[in-house]
Each structure stands twice: as C-alpha cells, then as structure tokens.
Amino acid sequence: MELIRGLHNLAPSHRPCVATIGAFDGVHLGHQAVIRQLQAKAAEFALPSTVIVFEPLPREYLAPLDAPARIMSFREKFLALADLGVDRLLRIHFNEDLRSTSAQAFLERIFVRGLGVRYIVLGDDFRFGNDREGDIKLIQQQGLRYGYEAGSTETFELGGERVSSTRIRKALADGDFTLAERLLSRPYRISGKVVYGRQLGRELGFPTANMELHRLRSPLSGVYAVTVSGAGLEDAPAVANVGTRPTVNDSIRANLEVHVLEGKPQLYGKHLQVTFLHKLREEEKFDSVQELQQQIARDVAAAGNWLAEHGNRSGKVRTG
C-alpha cells in the first residue's frame, strides 16, 4: 500500500480513484464493511482505492487531553488497512488551516482537484468541514456538478448494537477482551518499538521492555496477562502494565511495560506485538518501591497461572 504523506505530495498519478475518508481507529468490523464497499467500487470502476485519514485526529488537535483514547497507532492503522488490500493511504495533517476549511472547499480541494474521485464511499455518521455540513447528502448533491458518484455505508451491528470505536474502547476499559476481539475481528494488540526506560524493573528483579505507544492516552489501564511476539518470540507468556507508573512517575502520558515470564530475551530496539488476554488488576500507587516489588511478584505469578490455565507453555492461549 502506498502512503501519500500530505496533500502536497499528491501527483497526477493519484488521479482518478475511488475514495473514502474517516478516522478508522481500530479498523473494526464496521470499518471493514466500508473497505469492502470501497474495494467493490474500485473493482467496478477499474481504479485504485484510496483511504483518507487525518493526523492528528481532529479531536486530538482540538482538545488533546479530552480526546478519546486511541485504539491503535497510525502505524498499526496503516498495516491493518494494507492487510485489507487498500491501494493508497492519504495522510492529511490536521491543522488550523484545515480546521477552518468549509465542507464545500474541502470537497473541492481534496476529493475533486486532489484525487479526481469517480466514486466516494462515506460512513453514515461521518462529518467534515468547519461547519460540519459535510456529509453524504452534500457529497451526493455535488456529484453531478463534479462528475462523480457516491454512496453511504449502512450501520454495521453485532449483537443488536452498532459496532463503533467507542464500544470497543468501553470493552477494553472493562477488560472484556472477548467482546473486543469480536468487534475487531482479531485479538486486541499493541505493537511498538522497545526503548530504554528507567531500568527500575531490572533493579527490582523483573526486567521489562518499555514500548513506545505513539499516543497520549491508551484505552487500557492496569496490569494484564499477555503474550508477546517479535524479536524471535512467538506468543511468549508475559505480564504487562499499562499506565502512568504513579509510584515512580508523575507523567500523564501512558506507558507500556512488558515482562516476559520465561528466559531473558534481548529486546531493546526491537519491534514487539503484545496481545492482551486478561486483566489482572487496576494500576495502583504504592507507598514504597519495596511494596511495588512485592506486588510485581504477585502479578507475575498471577499472569503465569492464568496463562497456564488457559493455554499451554508455548503461550497459545484462548481469551475469556
């Protein structure tokens, strides 16, 4: 999949196409339905498929501390869309200029002049433009003027409820990984590069891999039984902490620390994928590092017991 980094990098070769736009946070079942419709129209028109996303997400730009926690990083989103067979991903930097652009100007600038669209697929709840008047009705009204067609996607439901990023965030916050997996069509995972931390875990006897989350907030908070893949590991049993490390750190930015239960793998600088399977407890602040050390030992034992009960020593476990 080709990544187009900004409107200034659009070229004549990117026109014409079939396109859709949205946040696509999670690339869940509802998003997958949109992509299937996009791919079907791309095949019908014999044109490339293009997905348009914003970075940062508009709500992150407008109110970063109040914006919903990201289900996935941009890199994870890119890989998920690539796996679905999307031809191109146009990443548009959301800034003050774009924020002040009207829906009509947005349509002309991006869909018409920028991409030369022949068909637009739009989610039924998506809005764009500074006046939020940009929706499927406006898109369809302007189709005759600019020579394209457009269609909306119907709400995708599971269990009688709409599949949405909001619903997935709630499932993750509740530790309901079975529901999250159903809504996502895959287990919930966080991937990232291992970076140097404070080395406190090593001092306490439980060396951890500190991973970059590439998001201010995480939909998870607490201690979890997980498996780890990457750097020569495949579904290795582990315990993970997601949070702000209140005992040793006053930061508001979420961190992910993972302790692999077996062996001493060298993980610094490697890309890992952490699969979340079961929540053990909430994040806590302890009065001393010694108390923290004792709790980590209990967490390691609890994670090992849960993983052993729900899978085998290779780490192949079932959610629930």
Tell me: do 233 and 123 sit in the same domain. Answer: no
Tell me: do 69 and 157 sit in the same domain. Answer: yes
pTM greater than 0.75 (yes/no):
yes
Let me know if 203 is exposed, middle or buried by CB neighbors in 10 A (0-12, 13-18, 19+).
exposed
**Residue 178 in domain:** no
Which positions ≥6 away from 22 have C-beta within 8 Å? 31, 34, 51, 52, 53, 123, 126
Q: Are 91 and 5 in contact (CB under 8 A)?
A: yes
**Residue 173 in domain:** no
Tell me: do 119 and 76 sit in the same domain. Answer: yes
Average pLDDT over residues 36-43: 97
Average pLDDT over residues 278-287: 88
Residue 278: band (very low, low, confident or very high) from pLDDT cuts 50, 70, 90: very high
Which positions ≥6 away from 196 have C-beta within 8 Å? 210, 268
* Amino acid identity for residue 305 in this structure: N
Taking the C-alpha atoms of residue 199 and residue 127, their distance in angstroms, rounded to an integer, is 45
Indicate whether 320 pLDDT > 70: no
pLDDT at 247: 47
The kind and range of the H/E element at 1 are none
pLDDT at 203: 57
Taking the C-alpha atoms of residue 270 and residue 260, their distance in angstroms, rounded to an integer, is 14
pLDDT at 201: 55
Tell me: do 14 and 155 sit in the same domain. Answer: yes
Tell me: do 132 and 9 sit in the same domain. Answer: yes
Tell me: do 13 and 155 sit in the same domain. Answer: yes
What proportion of the chain, given as a percentage, has pLDDT over 90?
Answer: 72
pLDDT at 184: 98
pLDDT at 286: 79
User: Which of residues 243 and 188 earns the better pLDDT score?
Assistant: 188
pLDDT at 312: 44
**Residue 303 in domain:** yes
Taking the C-alpha atoms of residue 122 and residue 18, their distance in angstroms, rounded to an integer, is 11
Tell me: do 7 and 97 sit in the same domain. Answer: yes
How many domains does the chain contain in total?
Answer: 2
Tell me: do 98 and 194 sit in the same domain. Answer: no
pLDDT at 316: 56
Per residue in 210-263, pLDDT (tens digit) is 998 888 788 999 999 999 999 899 999 999 999 875 444 555 567 899 999 998
Tell me: do 24 and 157 sit in the same domain. Answer: yes
Nearest to 120 by CA among 24, 216, 34: 34
Average pLDDT over residues 60-81: 93
Tell me: do 33 and 155 sit in the same domain. Answer: yes
Q: Are 288 and 296 in contact (CB under 8 A)?
A: no
Domain that holds residue 298: 187-310
Average pLDDT over residues 59-86: 94
pLDDT at 264: 84
Taking the C-alpha atoms of residue 143 and residue 135, their distance in angstroms, rounded to an integer, is 13
Taking the C-alpha atoms of residue 56 and residue 87, their distance in angstroms, rounded to an integer, is 22
Q: Are 106 and 130 in contact (CB under 8 A)?
A: no
> What average pLDDT does the structure give for the chain?
90
Q: Each residue of 69-107: b (16+ CB within 10 Å) or e?
A: bbbbbbebbbebbeebebbbbbbbebeeebeebebeebb
* Amino acid identity for residue 136 in this structure: I
